[in-house]
Amino acid sequence: MASLREFQNLMARIYLAKDSKRGPEGTYKWLKEEVDELGEAMRENDKEALEDEFADVIAWLASLANVLEVDLENVAFKKYNNCCPKCRSIPCQCQCKP
């Protein structure tokens, strides 16, 4: 088991120097591109490619969080604090977002 913070820190050690030079807008652009590639991998029905694209999306999300000084683990568990943040139920009982 490895924490989300460990992954974000690993991304900082590998990429923060380049990410900082590129800046938030350029890093966001790559995140969008990786999300598009994830969509393509879904259509191709290739599990290995799919897993690879999931890894890339979370890597670029962590890179963007590093550039913007956001702690992904902190914000994720703060909002999703053992229930749906809207209806406060588990499982979610919201009627929205079908």
Provide the binding-site residues for a copy of itself, judged by CB under 8 A.
1-7, 10-11, 13-18, 21-22, 24-25, 28, 30-32, 35, 38-39, 42, 50-52, 54-59, 61, 65, 68, 70, 72-73, 75-80, 82-84, 90-92, 97-98
Find the shortest distance in angstroms from Cβ 42 to a copy of itself.
Answer: 6
| Cα dihedral 36, 14, 73, 70 in deg (nearest 10) | -80
Give the other-Cβ count within 10 Å of 34's Cβ. Answer: 19
Find the shortest distance in angstroms from Cβ 46 to a copy of itself.
Answer: 12
* Sign of the alpha-carbon torsion through 59, 28, 26, 52: positive
Do residues 7 and 71 lie in contact, with contact meaning Cβ atoms separated by under 8 Å?
no
Find the shortest distance in angstroms from Cβ 38 to a copy of itself.
Answer: 7
Find the shortest distance in angstroms from Cβ 16 to a copy of itself.
Answer: 8
Rounded (10°) angle between helices 4-44 and 72-79: 80
